[in-house]
Copies of this chain bind each other. A is one copy, B any other.
Amino acid sequence: MIKYCERCGGTVTFRVPKGDNRERAVCDACGAIHYKNPLVVVGCVAERDGRILLCKRSIEPRYGHWTVPAGFMELGESLAEGAARETLEEACATVEIGHLFASIDVVDAGQVHLFFTGRLVSDFAPGEESLDCALFREDEIPWDDLAFSSGRYALRKYFEDRGENRGVHIHELRRAKLAASGESHDPPRPAATGDDRR
């Protein structure tokens, strides 16, 4: 929750600015409006010879669980560049990015997770955020030991597509709906406003 203006240090009040239709943090001193919007997470399902590159996390959340390389998109890069960068950082691996094939709305966390296909074209090794990296055939994927629901969904759709571009598979993770349906899901990634968000 925003309490102070990042520009002038003044206090803020939450109100609906003129021409807007929802409450924003508006600076009492300089009038600056401070928006909060969803964040983009980009990932890459990288394949070589029918096997997929996964990383075992060395950080929270989900320390010790396996994940598709993915992370927050940064300013100054495209979605595809972000997906390749995350694969390089987490698995020291170079990928040729293919097509966008999965989009998961993690609504409660204020995130959209977008996954690309990729062709692994280098060696690999654990990056700073990984304990281990390895290649898995479909029947070797540690489905019950995956870090995040979004990555699990992406992997499932990746194998269903069998290398073809069948458009983007869209999925929604929202706590209220999951609770109503009696399902559970992984703890959400840190919220958009959170601290510990790598």
Binding site for B on A (CB under 8 A): 2-9, 11-12, 19-22, 25, 32-40, 59, 72-80, 89, 99-101, 103, 105, 107, 110, 112, 128, 165-168, 170, 172, 174, 192, 195, 197-198
Q: Are A73 and B32 in contact (CB under 8 A)?
A: no
Which residues of the partner chain B approach A110 to less than 8 Å between Cβ atoms? 75-76
CB distance from A172 to the nearest CB of B (A): 5
Instruction: Given A99-B167, A103-B100, A166-B167, check contact A72 B6 (CB 8 Å).
Output: no
Cα A112 to Cα B165 with chains together (Å) = 21
Number of identical protomers: 2
Which residue of the partner chain B has the closest CB to A4?
A: B9
Cα A2 to Cα B5 with chains together (Å) = 9
A-B contact pairs, 13 of them (CB 8 A): A4-B7, A4-B8, A6-B34, A19-B59, A20-B198, A32-B195, A33-B195, A37-B73, A38-B74, A38-B75, A40-B40, A73-B112, A167-B167
From B22, B100, B166, B198, contact of A74 by CB (8 A): B22
